[in-house]
Structure 1
Amino acid sequence: MAFKQGESGNKTGRPKGKPNKVTGNLREWINKFINNNREQMEADFKALEPKDRIVMFEKLLKYTLPTLQATSLTADFAKMTDEQLDEIINQLKKSNND
């Protein structure tokens, strides 16, 4: 039988911001696992070949550092005033001199 929205025991669903129980339990288990096996994991990491160690380090970084998103900038120079264009030119000249 397929689930139909609004027919569950909780018609409003999970409140916004309330953590998912399964996700919370899994995160707690992973944290305990890592803490209980930290020494072994560090020893295994040190036993890797330098190239493999760098690859592993790079993979782990994504869990600690925010991912940078690519950005793009577009400007319609035809709609800009002469003053705005002059300011852009002056800023570019200044950045090239620094």
Structure 2
Amino acid sequence: MSRVKGTPKTGGRKAGTPNKITGTLKEFLSDLIDDNREQIKQDLESLSAKDRLQMIERFMQYIMPKQKEIEFSGTMTEDEKYNLEDLPEDLLFEIADKIQDAHAKKLLNK
């Protein structure tokens, strides 16, 4: 039977208590990847360029937050083009994405 709406929750884990299974699984997977870095690198190198790029892209989603796509439709003077502090944050993210894409392509061509 469910509890009556408005009554406090009883039992279960306290707020902020980590899930033990999730924690141990994350640690296991982290150790597995860490212990097999060279093999993973060799496996990636054996893939076609297209498949390798797809795998790297899949890995990146776990270490880098996804950025939403944006467009900058304004105009800038020559002075504004070189002052990054004054650029809108979404434009900075777009620039960062382009740099990351270029870096990933460079890594694939090694």
| Correspondence 1:59-98 to 2 at 5 A | 59-69=58-68, 95-96=74-75, 98=77
Describe the SS at the equivalent of 2:75: helix
Tell me the CA shift for residue 64 of structure 1. 0.9
| Aligned equivalents of 1:21, 1:5: Cα separation in 2 | 26
Report the residue type matching 1:23 in the other structure. T
Say whether residues 1:32 and 2:31 are aligned partners: yes
Aligned length: 69
Q: Over residues 9-48 of structure 1, what are the superposed CA-to-partner deviations in whole Å (9 max), with x where a residue is unaligned?
A: xx43211111101100100110111112111111111111
Which structure: larger Rg?
Answer: 1
Q: Which residue pairs with 2:45 in the alignment?
A: 46
Q: Which runs of 5+ in 2 are unaligned?
A: 4-9, 78-110
Q: Taking structure 1 as the reference length, what is the TM-score of the superposition?
A: 0.58
Distance in 1 (CA, whole Å) between partners of 2:29 and 2:45 is 21
- RMSD between superposed Cα atoms in Å: 2.5
Sort the Cα spacing of 1:32 and 1:97 in 2 relative to 1 into closer, same or farther, 3 A.
closer
Question: How far apart, CA to CA, are the structure 2 residues paired with 1:97 and 1:41?
Answer: 45
TM-score (norm 2): 0.53
Counterpart of 1:28 in structure 2: which amino acid? Answer: E
* Structure 1 unaligned regions, length at least 5: 72-91
